[in-house]
Amino acid sequence: MEKFEAPIQQSLLQELIELWETIPELRTNEEWRRELLGLEPSFNRILIYIVREGGRIVAMCQFYISRRMPILSEFSYPGTRPECRGRGIATRLWGAAIDDMKAMGVEAIFLGTFDRIAFRLYRRLGFSKLPASLTFVQALNGLSAEEFLADWFRDAGPATLSSGNPGDQLPSYPLIVSQHDWQVLDANAGLMSTRYSLHRTFRGLYLKCANVGNDENGARFSATTSDGKVVGMSTARLEDDGTCAVDGFVHHRYPDSWDDLILAGIGFGGSRGVSAVHARVSREDIEKCQRFAALGFRESGSAPDFVLDCLQLNRQKEIEPISVPAVKMELKL
Ligand SMILES: CC(C)(COP(=O)(O)OP(=O)(O)OC[C@H]1O[C@@H](n2cnc3c(N)ncnc32)[C@H](O)[C@@H]1OP(=O)(O)O)[C@@H](O)C(=O)NCCC(=O)NCCS
Protein backbone atom coordinates (compact mmCIF):
# COMPACT_ATOMS: atom_id res chain seq x y z
CA MET A 1 0.00 0.00 0.00
CA GLU A 2 1.20 3.54 -0.74
CA LYS A 3 -0.20 6.65 0.91
CA PHE A 4 -0.36 10.21 -0.44
CA GLU A 5 -1.83 13.46 0.78
CA ALA A 6 -3.33 16.19 -1.42
CA PRO A 7 -2.02 18.26 -3.09
CA ILE A 8 -0.65 15.46 -5.25
CA GLN A 9 1.47 15.64 -8.39
CA GLN A 10 -0.25 15.95 -11.76
CA SER A 11 1.43 12.68 -12.82
CA LEU A 12 -0.20 10.76 -9.93
CA LEU A 13 -3.56 12.37 -10.68
CA GLN A 14 -3.22 11.18 -14.27
CA GLU A 15 -2.61 7.60 -13.06
CA LEU A 16 -5.70 7.80 -10.83
CA ILE A 17 -7.80 9.14 -13.70
CA GLU A 18 -6.64 6.17 -15.80
CA LEU A 19 -7.67 3.80 -12.97
CA TRP A 20 -11.15 5.36 -12.80
CA GLU A 21 -11.56 5.13 -16.58
CA THR A 22 -11.64 1.32 -16.06
CA ILE A 23 -14.28 1.50 -13.29
CA PRO A 24 -17.67 2.30 -14.83
CA GLU A 25 -19.69 1.99 -11.61
CA LEU A 26 -18.43 5.19 -10.01
CA ARG A 27 -17.66 8.54 -11.61
CA THR A 28 -15.07 11.08 -10.56
CA ASN A 29 -15.56 14.72 -11.42
CA GLU A 30 -13.77 18.00 -11.95
CA GLU A 31 -14.16 18.96 -8.30
CA TRP A 32 -12.36 15.75 -7.25
CA ARG A 33 -9.48 16.51 -9.63
CA ARG A 34 -9.20 20.07 -8.33
CA GLU A 35 -9.32 18.86 -4.72
CA LEU A 36 -6.50 16.40 -5.29
CA LEU A 37 -4.34 19.06 -6.94
CA GLY A 38 -5.01 21.42 -4.03
CA LEU A 39 -6.91 23.90 -6.19
CA GLU A 40 -10.00 23.96 -3.91
CA PRO A 41 -10.11 25.60 -0.45
CA SER A 42 -8.89 22.91 1.89
CA PHE A 43 -11.38 22.44 4.71
CA ASN A 44 -10.40 18.76 4.89
CA ARG A 45 -7.15 16.86 4.64
CA ILE A 46 -7.38 14.39 1.76
CA LEU A 47 -5.45 11.11 2.02
CA ILE A 48 -5.20 8.69 -0.89
CA TYR A 49 -4.24 5.04 -0.47
CA ILE A 50 -3.30 2.97 -3.50
CA VAL A 51 -2.16 -0.52 -4.45
CA ARG A 52 0.15 -1.12 -7.42
CA GLU A 53 0.79 -4.32 -9.30
CA GLY A 54 3.55 -4.36 -11.90
CA GLY A 55 3.90 -0.60 -11.48
CA ARG A 56 0.26 0.02 -12.41
CA ILE A 57 -2.32 1.32 -9.89
CA VAL A 58 -4.98 -1.40 -9.45
CA ALA A 59 -6.98 -0.03 -6.51
CA MET A 60 -7.45 3.13 -4.47
CA CYS A 61 -9.51 4.62 -1.71
CA GLN A 62 -9.60 8.13 -0.27
CA PHE A 63 -10.31 9.66 3.12
CA TYR A 64 -11.32 13.21 3.98
CA ILE A 65 -10.33 14.26 7.50
CA SER A 66 -11.96 17.39 8.88
CA ARG A 67 -9.35 20.07 9.63
CA ARG A 68 -11.68 21.60 12.22
CA MET A 69 -12.42 18.25 13.89
CA PRO A 70 -9.65 15.81 12.91
CA ILE A 71 -11.47 13.03 14.77
CA LEU A 72 -14.03 12.89 11.92
CA SER A 73 -13.35 11.26 8.58
CA GLU A 74 -15.23 10.37 5.40
CA PHE A 75 -14.37 7.38 3.22
CA SER A 76 -14.77 7.80 -0.53
CA TYR A 77 -13.69 6.78 -4.02
CA PRO A 78 -13.11 3.06 -3.36
CA GLY A 79 -12.33 1.22 -6.58
CA THR A 80 -10.49 -1.85 -7.89
CA ARG A 81 -9.76 -2.53 -11.58
CA PRO A 82 -12.39 -5.00 -12.82
CA GLU A 83 -9.83 -7.64 -13.82
CA CYS A 84 -8.26 -7.52 -10.33
CA ARG A 85 -11.48 -7.85 -8.32
CA GLY A 86 -12.39 -10.70 -6.02
CA ARG A 87 -8.81 -11.20 -4.83
CA GLY A 88 -9.15 -9.39 -1.52
CA ILE A 89 -7.29 -6.26 -2.69
CA ALA A 90 -9.98 -3.85 -1.44
CA THR A 91 -10.44 -5.76 1.82
CA ARG A 92 -6.72 -5.45 2.60
CA LEU A 93 -6.35 -1.86 1.33
CA TRP A 94 -9.39 -0.48 3.14
CA GLY A 95 -8.49 -2.39 6.33
CA ALA A 96 -4.94 -1.00 6.33
CA ALA A 97 -6.21 2.52 5.58
CA ILE A 98 -8.72 2.31 8.45
CA ASP A 99 -5.91 1.17 10.77
CA ASP A 100 -3.95 4.23 9.62
CA MET A 101 -6.94 6.48 10.37
CA LYS A 102 -7.08 5.04 13.87
CA ALA A 103 -3.35 5.64 14.34
CA MET A 104 -3.92 9.27 13.26
CA GLY A 105 -6.52 9.77 15.99
CA VAL A 106 -9.67 9.53 13.87
CA GLU A 107 -12.62 8.44 16.03
CA ALA A 108 -15.37 7.95 13.45
CA ILE A 109 -15.59 7.29 9.73
CA PHE A 110 -18.70 8.04 7.66
CA LEU A 111 -19.57 6.83 4.17
CA GLY A 112 -22.53 6.21 1.90
CA THR A 113 -23.11 3.27 -0.42
CA PHE A 114 -25.78 1.38 -2.31
CA ASP A 115 -23.33 -1.17 -3.77
CA ARG A 116 -23.97 -4.75 -2.58
CA ILE A 117 -20.35 -5.93 -2.88
CA ALA A 118 -19.04 -2.86 -1.09
CA PHE A 119 -21.77 -3.31 1.54
CA ARG A 120 -20.36 -6.73 2.47
CA LEU A 121 -16.85 -5.33 2.70
CA TYR A 122 -17.96 -2.42 4.87
CA ARG A 123 -19.81 -4.75 7.22
CA ARG A 124 -16.80 -7.04 7.44
CA LEU A 125 -14.53 -4.08 8.24
CA GLY A 126 -16.75 -2.96 11.12
CA PHE A 127 -19.09 -0.34 9.61
CA SER A 128 -22.76 -0.25 10.65
CA LYS A 129 -25.55 0.92 8.37
CA LEU A 130 -27.89 3.47 9.87
CA PRO A 131 -31.63 2.77 9.66
CA ALA A 132 -33.53 4.07 6.59
CA SER A 133 -30.29 5.43 5.21
CA LEU A 134 -27.36 4.75 2.88
CA THR A 135 -25.02 6.08 5.56
CA PHE A 136 -22.53 3.77 7.23
CA VAL A 137 -20.62 4.74 10.36
CA GLN A 138 -17.70 3.15 12.12
CA ALA A 139 -16.66 4.41 15.55
CA LEU A 140 -13.01 3.46 15.99
CA ASN A 141 -13.24 3.49 19.78
CA GLY A 142 -15.42 0.39 19.87
CA LEU A 143 -18.78 2.13 20.34
CA SER A 144 -21.73 1.12 18.16
CA ALA A 145 -22.82 3.70 15.58
CA GLU A 146 -25.85 4.57 17.71
CA GLU A 147 -23.75 4.93 20.88
CA PHE A 148 -21.29 7.13 19.03
CA LEU A 149 -24.03 9.43 17.73
CA ALA A 150 -25.68 9.68 21.16
CA ASP A 151 -22.35 10.33 22.92
CA TRP A 152 -21.37 12.95 20.34
CA PHE A 153 -24.00 15.37 21.62
CA ARG A 154 -23.73 14.51 25.32
CA ASP A 155 -22.03 17.27 27.32
CA ALA A 156 -20.97 18.95 24.07
CA GLY A 157 -21.04 22.41 25.65
CA PRO A 158 -22.82 25.62 24.62
CA ALA A 159 -23.31 26.48 20.97
CA THR A 160 -22.88 29.75 19.14
CA LEU A 161 -24.31 30.88 15.83
CA SER A 162 -22.30 31.41 12.67
CA SER A 163 -22.82 31.65 8.93
CA GLY A 164 -22.50 28.16 7.50
CA ASN A 165 -19.21 27.44 5.75
CA PRO A 166 -17.74 24.39 3.96
CA GLY A 167 -15.75 23.50 7.10
CA ASP A 168 -19.11 22.44 8.56
CA GLN A 169 -19.43 19.50 6.21
CA LEU A 170 -17.90 16.64 8.21
CA PRO A 171 -18.79 18.14 11.61
CA SER A 172 -22.45 18.26 10.50
CA TYR A 173 -22.70 14.57 9.55
CA PRO A 174 -23.52 13.36 13.11
CA LEU A 175 -26.34 15.93 13.30
CA ILE A 176 -27.79 15.22 9.86
CA VAL A 177 -27.80 11.42 10.18
CA SER A 178 -29.14 11.33 13.74
CA GLN A 179 -32.80 10.44 14.05
CA HIS A 180 -34.95 13.48 14.77
CA ASP A 181 -38.51 13.68 16.02
CA TRP A 182 -39.58 16.32 13.52
CA GLN A 183 -40.54 14.82 10.15
CA VAL A 184 -39.19 17.75 8.15
CA LEU A 185 -35.82 19.06 9.24
CA ASP A 186 -35.45 21.79 6.63
CA ALA A 187 -38.15 22.35 4.02
CA ASN A 188 -35.91 24.74 2.03
CA ALA A 189 -33.31 22.00 1.67
CA GLY A 190 -35.80 19.11 1.34
CA LEU A 191 -34.18 17.42 4.33
CA MET A 192 -36.27 14.89 6.27
CA SER A 193 -35.72 12.80 9.38
CA THR A 194 -34.98 9.11 8.86
CA ARG A 195 -37.56 8.37 11.53
CA TYR A 196 -40.08 9.16 8.77
CA SER A 197 -38.41 9.20 5.38
CA LEU A 198 -35.62 7.34 3.59
CA HIS A 199 -32.33 9.08 2.96
CA ARG A 200 -31.44 8.06 -0.59
CA THR A 201 -28.10 9.87 -0.57
CA PHE A 202 -25.32 10.49 1.95
CA ARG A 203 -23.09 13.38 0.82
CA GLY A 204 -26.10 14.93 -0.85
CA LEU A 205 -27.75 15.46 2.54
CA TYR A 206 -25.27 18.13 3.58
CA LEU A 207 -25.11 19.54 0.06
CA LYS A 208 -28.88 20.11 0.06
CA CYS A 209 -28.40 22.61 2.90
CA ALA A 210 -25.14 24.03 1.56
CA ASN A 211 -26.69 24.68 -1.85
CA VAL A 212 -29.39 26.89 -0.33
CA GLY A 213 -26.65 28.96 1.30
CA ASN A 214 -24.51 29.04 -1.84
CA ASP A 215 -27.31 30.62 -3.87
CA GLU A 216 -27.09 34.43 -4.06
CA ASN A 217 -30.71 34.56 -2.87
CA GLY A 218 -30.11 32.23 0.05
CA ALA A 219 -28.28 31.97 3.35
CA ARG A 220 -27.26 29.22 5.70
CA PHE A 221 -26.45 29.26 9.40
CA SER A 222 -24.91 26.79 11.84
CA ALA A 223 -25.00 26.41 15.60
CA THR A 224 -21.57 25.14 16.60
CA THR A 225 -19.99 24.16 19.90
CA SER A 226 -16.62 25.56 20.91
CA ASP A 227 -14.93 22.31 19.85
CA GLY A 228 -16.53 22.50 16.40
CA LYS A 229 -19.54 20.20 16.58
CA VAL A 230 -22.48 21.32 14.46
CA VAL A 231 -25.59 20.96 16.64
CA GLY A 232 -28.08 22.85 14.48
CA MET A 233 -28.53 24.22 10.97
CA SER A 234 -30.92 26.62 9.27
CA THR A 235 -31.48 28.10 5.84
CA ALA A 236 -33.25 31.14 4.42
CA ARG A 237 -34.26 31.66 0.80
CA LEU A 238 -35.75 34.71 -0.92
CA GLU A 239 -38.95 33.87 -2.82
CA ASP A 240 -40.26 35.42 -6.03
CA ASP A 241 -43.20 36.98 -4.16
CA GLY A 242 -40.90 39.20 -2.10
CA THR A 243 -40.97 37.03 1.03
CA CYS A 244 -38.31 34.84 2.58
CA ALA A 245 -38.67 31.13 3.48
CA VAL A 246 -36.84 30.05 6.65
CA ASP A 247 -36.39 26.67 8.27
CA GLY A 248 -33.96 24.75 10.42
CA PHE A 249 -33.39 21.98 12.93
CA VAL A 250 -31.25 21.20 15.95
CA HIS A 251 -30.21 18.19 17.98
CA HIS A 252 -32.77 17.70 20.74
CA ARG A 253 -30.16 18.62 23.37
CA TYR A 254 -29.92 22.13 21.81
CA PRO A 255 -33.51 23.42 21.74
CA ASP A 256 -32.49 27.06 22.38
CA SER A 257 -30.17 27.12 19.39
CA TRP A 258 -33.19 26.61 17.14
CA ASP A 259 -34.53 30.08 18.02
CA ASP A 260 -31.14 31.62 17.23
CA LEU A 261 -30.98 29.81 13.90
CA ILE A 262 -34.46 30.89 12.82
CA LEU A 263 -33.87 34.47 14.02
CA ALA A 264 -30.73 34.51 11.85
CA GLY A 265 -32.88 33.49 8.87
CA ILE A 266 -35.40 36.22 9.70
CA GLY A 267 -32.52 38.68 9.95
CA PHE A 268 -31.32 37.66 6.48
CA GLY A 269 -34.80 38.25 5.05
CA GLY A 270 -35.01 41.62 6.82
CA SER A 271 -31.62 42.66 5.46
CA ARG A 272 -32.92 41.97 1.93
CA GLY A 273 -36.02 44.08 2.52
CA VAL A 274 -38.71 41.37 2.48
CA SER A 275 -42.18 42.16 3.78
CA ALA A 276 -42.72 38.79 5.45
CA VAL A 277 -40.91 35.63 6.43
CA HIS A 278 -42.62 32.26 6.26
CA ALA A 279 -42.06 28.59 6.95
CA ARG A 280 -43.64 25.48 5.45
CA VAL A 281 -44.22 23.07 8.31
CA SER A 282 -45.73 19.58 8.40
CA ARG A 283 -49.04 19.70 10.26
CA GLU A 284 -47.83 16.60 12.08
CA ASP A 285 -44.74 18.44 13.38
CA ILE A 286 -46.88 19.98 16.07
CA GLU A 287 -43.99 21.03 18.30
CA LYS A 288 -42.31 22.78 15.36
CA CYS A 289 -45.52 24.72 14.61
CA GLN A 290 -45.59 25.76 18.26
CA ARG A 291 -41.96 26.85 18.16
CA PHE A 292 -42.62 29.06 15.13
CA ALA A 293 -45.72 30.46 16.86
CA ALA A 294 -43.61 31.29 19.92
CA LEU A 295 -41.39 33.42 17.64
CA GLY A 296 -44.45 35.35 16.42
CA PHE A 297 -45.31 33.36 13.29
CA ARG A 298 -49.02 32.90 12.59
CA GLU A 299 -50.74 30.26 10.46
CA SER A 300 -51.64 31.86 7.13
CA GLY A 301 -53.07 28.95 5.18
CA SER A 302 -51.89 25.67 3.81
CA ALA A 303 -48.71 24.93 1.89
CA PRO A 304 -47.83 22.15 -0.58
CA ASP A 305 -47.82 18.67 1.03
CA PHE A 306 -44.59 16.97 2.04
CA VAL A 307 -43.94 13.48 0.68
CA LEU A 308 -42.48 11.11 3.26
CA ASP A 309 -40.64 8.35 1.47
CA CYS A 310 -40.85 5.65 4.11
CA LEU A 311 -42.88 3.36 6.29
CA GLN A 312 -45.71 5.32 7.83
CA LEU A 313 -48.75 4.66 9.89
CA ASN A 314 -51.77 5.21 7.71
CA ARG A 315 -55.37 4.11 7.72
CA GLN A 316 -54.96 1.83 4.73
CA LYS A 317 -52.10 0.00 6.49
CA GLU A 318 -50.12 0.43 3.28
CA ILE A 319 -46.38 0.63 3.16
CA GLU A 320 -45.67 3.33 0.62
CA PRO A 321 -44.74 7.00 0.45
CA ILE A 322 -47.42 9.24 1.89
CA SER A 323 -48.29 12.89 1.54
CA VAL A 324 -48.45 14.91 4.72
CA PRO A 325 -50.34 18.21 4.72
CA ALA A 326 -48.29 21.30 5.40
CA VAL A 327 -49.17 24.60 7.00
CA LYS A 328 -47.75 28.00 6.08
CA MET A 329 -46.55 29.90 9.14
CA GLU A 330 -45.92 33.58 8.48
CA LEU A 331 -44.27 36.47 10.27
CA LYS A 332 -44.93 39.98 8.93
CA LEU A 333 -41.90 42.24 9.17
C1 LIG B 1 -16.22 -2.67 -4.35
C2 LIG B 1 -14.87 -3.01 -4.94
C3 LIG B 1 -13.90 -1.87 -4.67
C4 LIG B 1 -14.34 -4.29 -4.29
O5 LIG B 1 -13.01 -4.50 -4.73
P6 LIG B 1 -12.31 -5.94 -4.65
O7 LIG B 1 -10.83 -5.70 -4.66
O8 LIG B 1 -12.86 -6.84 -5.65
O9 LIG B 1 -12.75 -6.44 -3.19
P10 LIG B 1 -12.41 -7.81 -2.48
O11 LIG B 1 -11.71 -8.73 -3.43
O12 LIG B 1 -11.68 -7.48 -1.22
O13 LIG B 1 -13.85 -8.36 -2.12
C14 LIG B 1 -14.87 -8.40 -3.13
C15 LIG B 1 -16.00 -9.34 -2.78
O16 LIG B 1 -16.59 -9.77 -4.01
C17 LIG B 1 -16.33 -11.16 -4.22
N18 LIG B 1 -16.00 -11.46 -5.61
C19 LIG B 1 -15.78 -12.68 -6.09
N20 LIG B 1 -15.52 -12.61 -7.37
C21 LIG B 1 -15.59 -11.33 -7.73
C22 LIG B 1 -15.39 -10.65 -8.94
N23 LIG B 1 -15.10 -11.29 -10.07
N24 LIG B 1 -15.50 -9.32 -8.93
C25 LIG B 1 -15.79 -8.68 -7.81
N26 LIG B 1 -15.96 -9.29 -6.63
C27 LIG B 1 -15.88 -10.61 -6.59
C28 LIG B 1 -15.19 -11.39 -3.29
O29 LIG B 1 -15.08 -12.75 -2.98
C30 LIG B 1 -15.60 -10.56 -2.11
O31 LIG B 1 -16.77 -11.15 -1.55
P32 LIG B 1 -16.95 -11.37 -0.02
O33 LIG B 1 -17.24 -10.01 0.52
O34 LIG B 1 -18.09 -12.28 0.09
O35 LIG B 1 -15.66 -11.94 0.45
C36 LIG B 1 -14.96 -3.26 -6.46
O37 LIG B 1 -15.98 -4.20 -6.69
C38 LIG B 1 -15.22 -2.01 -7.27
O39 LIG B 1 -14.29 -1.32 -7.67
N40 LIG B 1 -16.48 -1.71 -7.54
C41 LIG B 1 -16.83 -0.54 -8.35
C42 LIG B 1 -16.69 0.75 -7.58
C43 LIG B 1 -17.67 0.76 -6.42
O44 LIG B 1 -18.81 0.43 -6.59
N45 LIG B 1 -17.17 1.11 -5.25
C46 LIG B 1 -17.97 1.15 -4.05
C47 LIG B 1 -18.83 2.36 -4.04
S48 LIG B 1 -19.40 2.72 -2.43
As a three-state string, the secondary structure of the chain is CEEEECCCCHHHHHHHHHHHHCCCCCCCCHHHHHHHCCCCCCCEEEEEEEEEECCEEEEEEEEEEECCCCCEEEEEEEEECHHHCCCCHHHHHHHHHHHHHHHCCCCEEEEECCCHHHHHHHHHCCCEECCCCCEEEEECCCCCHHHHHHHHCCCCCCEEEEECCHHHHHHHHHHHHCCCCCCEEECCCCEECCCCCCCCCCHHHHHHHHHHHHCCCEEEEEEEECCCCEEEEEEEEECCCCCEEEEEEECCCCHHHHHHHHHHHHHHHHHCCCCEEEEEEECCCHHHHHHHHHCCCEEEEEEEEEEECCCCCCCCCCCCCEEEEEEEEEEEC
Please tell me whether residues 63 and 166 are part of one structural domain.
no
Pairing of strands 184-186, 191-192: antiparallel
Please tell me whether residues 131 and 169 are part of one structural domain.
no
Please tell me whether residues 36 and 139 are part of one structural domain.
yes
- Taking the centre of ligand 1 as the mean of its atom positions, its distance from the CA of residue 26, in whole angstroms, is 13
Find the residues whose C-beta lies inside 6 A of ligand 1.
Answer: 23, 25-26, 59, 78-80, 85-91, 113, 115, 117-118, 120-121
CA–CA separation, 163 vs 178, rounded Å?
Answer: 22
- Taking the centre of ligand 1 as the mean of its atom positions, its distance from the CA of residue 86, in whole angstroms, is 5
Where is the domain boundary, 116, 143, 170? 143
Q: Is residue 128 part of a domain?
A: yes
Give which of 252, 132, 254 is closest to 197, Cα–Cα: 132
Please tell me whether residues 201 and 246 are part of one structural domain.
yes
The residue type at 86: G
Confidence of residue 30 (pLDDT cuts 50, 70, 90): very high
Confidence of residue 311 (pLDDT cuts 50, 70, 90): low
Q: Is residue 57 part of a domain?
A: yes
Please tell me whether residues 26 and 51 are part of one structural domain.
yes
Share of the chain above pLDDT 70, in %: 97
Please tell me whether residues 194 and 62 are part of one structural domain.
no
- What is residue 155's predicted lDDT score, i.e. its pLDDT? 86
Give which of 131, 171, 136, 186 is closest to 306, Cα–Cα: 186
Please tell me whether residues 138 and 174 are part of one structural domain.
no
| Cross-strand bridge partners of residue 60 | 50, 79
Per-residue pLDDT at 120 exceeds 80? yes
- Taking the centre of ligand 1 as the mean of its atom positions, its distance from the CA of residue 47, in whole angstroms, is 21
- What is residue 322's predicted lDDT score, i.e. its pLDDT? 85
As a whole number, mean pLDDT of residues 96-108 equals 98
Q: Is residue 259 part of a domain?
A: yes
For the stretch 153-193, pLDDT in tens is 998 899 999 998 999 999 999 999 999 999 999 999 999 99
CA–CA separation, 173 vs 111, rounded Å?
Answer: 10
- Taking the centre of ligand 1 as the mean of its atom positions, its distance from the CA of residue 116, in whole angstroms, is 9
The total of structural domains in the chain comes to 2
- Please provide residue 54's backbone torsions phi and psi, each rounded to the nearest 5 degrees: 60, 35
Give which of 216, 253, 255 is closest to 236, Cα–Cα: 216
Low-confidence winner among 136-145, 168-177, 312-321 (lowest mean pLDDT): 312-321
Ligand 1 nearest atom to the CA of residue 61, by list position? 3
CA–CA separation, 226 vs 228, rounded Å?
Answer: 5
CATH classification at residue 252:
3.40.630.30
CA–CA separation, 8 vs 23, rounded Å?
Answer: 21
Structural domain harbouring 86: 2-143
CA–CA separation, 258 vs 161, rounded Å?
Answer: 10
Q: Is residue 309 part of a domain?
A: yes
Q: Is residue 153 part of a domain?
A: no
- Residue to substitute in 21, 80, 85, 92 for testing ligand 1 pocket (most ligand atoms within 8 angstroms of CB): 85
Q: Is residue 149 part of a domain?
A: no
The residue type at 203: R
Q: Is residue 66 part of a domain?
A: yes
Where is the domain boundary, 143, 168, 200? 143
Confidence of residue 271 (pLDDT cuts 50, 70, 90): very high
Where is the domain boundary, 96, 115, 143? 143
**Which of the pair, 164 or 149, is modelled with greater confidence?**
149
| Cross-strand bridge partners of residue 332 | 276
As a whole number, mean pLDDT of residues 112-122 equals 93
Please tell me whether residues 132 and 264 are part of one structural domain.
no
Instruction: Look up the pTM and report it.
Output: 0.94
Residue having the nearest C-alpha atom to atom 18 of ligand 1:
86
As a whole number, mean pLDDT of residues 216-238 equals 97
CA–CA separation, 246 vs 218, rounded Å?
Answer: 10
Cα–Cα–Cα angle for 142, 143, 148, rounded to 5 degrees: 140
Ligand 1 nearest atom to the CA of residue 80, by list position? 39
Ligand 1 nearest atom to the CA of residue 79, by list position? 39
Residue having the nearest C-alpha atom to atom 14 of ligand 1:
86
Please tell me whether residues 276 and 139 are part of one structural domain.
no
Residue having the nearest C-alpha atom to atom 42 of ligand 1:
79
Residue having the nearest C-alpha atom to atom 39 of ligand 1:
79
Ligand 1 nearest atom to the CA of residue 124, by list position? 33
CA–CA separation, 182 vs 251, rounded Å?
Answer: 11
- What is residue 42's predicted lDDT score, i.e. its pLDDT? 87
CA–CA separation, 258 vs 231, rounded Å?
Answer: 9
Q: Is residue 148 part of a domain?
A: no
As a whole number, mean pLDDT of residues 203-225 equals 96
Per-residue pLDDT at 107 exceeds 90? yes
Per-residue pLDDT at 313 exceeds 90? no
CA–CA separation, 100 vs 258, rounded Å?
Answer: 38
Please tell me whether residues 286 and 228 are part of one structural domain.
yes
Per-residue pLDDT at 194 exceeds 80? yes
Confidence of residue 317 (pLDDT cuts 50, 70, 90): low
Please tell me whether residues 188 and 325 are part of one structural domain.
yes
Please tell me whether residues 263 and 327 are part of one structural domain.
yes
